[in-house]
Amino acid sequence: MNPLIIAIWLMLPAYLPNNFAVLLGGGRPLDFGRCFPDGRRILGNGKTFRGTIAGALAGVGVGLILDSIASSRPDLGLPDFGAGAELIMVLVGLSLGAMAGDIIASFFKRRMGMERGASLFLVDQLDFVAGSWVLTLLLAPRWFLENFTGEIILIVLIVTPILHRATNIIGYKIKAKREPW
């Protein structure tokens, strides 16, 4: 199978949580509206309980479907997401890690004095990639190192900002997102 397709396939459980958070987010913010000692919000209204939980669950759910496709159709040459307990570790790592990376980035954006929704080039595009890789490496190191080869990592780093920008423009056009980034 084409390595570009494999890279996107492996990252889908990390990509989709963001989109589901945008579609289903809202309500009580993760920081309960509280401020940091610097007087600014800890995370801001853009990080909510509903968005985070819906996003992480969607990533795991989609991952289970992708894994069953890869396992039942080995002729397609698509990688699976691990077996048994490892499967859950991998999918939690990819999806919750993606949400966590985005949340940590918002914490630093607020510390830099940036309002909710302000854009921070490359951080906005790759924070969730870093989060998903770190958590998956911690929870399922064998699977991560076997699947994320140097080539796949390079492809993800190049392709993700393009896909991220394209989906956010669509999200903005269909009025699901407040900014086109």
Compute CA distances 63 → 39, 40, 136, whole Å. 39, 36, 13
For ligand CTP, the binding residue among 13, 25, 63, 101 (CB under 6 A) is 25
Q: How far is the CB of 108 from ligand CTP (least distance, A)?
A: 10
**H helix and E strand count, the chain:** 6, 0
Where does this chain touch ligand CTP (CB under 6 A) — which range of 68-76, 97-105, 136-144, 151-159? Answer: 97-105
Contact criterion met (CB below 8 Å) for 117 and 179 = yes
Report residue 136 as tokens. Answer: 């998956």
Q: Which of 126, 134, 133 is nearest to 165 (CA)?
A: 126
Q: How far is the CB of 169 from ligand CTP (least distance, A)?
A: 13
Q: Is 22 in the site for ligand CTP (CB under 6 A)?
A: yes
Contact criterion met (CB below 8 Å) for 60 and 95 = yes
Closest to ligand CTP by CB, 155 vs 177, is: 177
Report residue 104 as tokens. Answer: 């940590």
Where does this chain touch ligand CTP (CB under 6 A) — which range of 7-15, 44-52, 77-85, 137-145? Answer: 44-52
Give the three-class secondary structure for 40.
Answer: coil
Residues within window 119-178 making contact with ligand CTP, judged by CB under 6 A = 177
Where does this chain touch ligand CTP (CB under 6 A) — which range of 18-26, 66-74, 78-86, 154-162? Answer: 18-26
Closest to ligand CTP by CB, 25 vs 82, is: 25
Contact criterion met (CB below 8 Å) for 143 and 82 = yes
For ligand CTP, the binding residue among 95, 106, 125, 160 (CB under 6 A) is 106
> Could you identify the residue written with the tokens 């080869």?
149
Interaction site with ligand CTP (CB under 6 A): 21-22, 25-26, 44, 46-48, 51-52, 99, 102-103, 106, 109, 116-118, 177
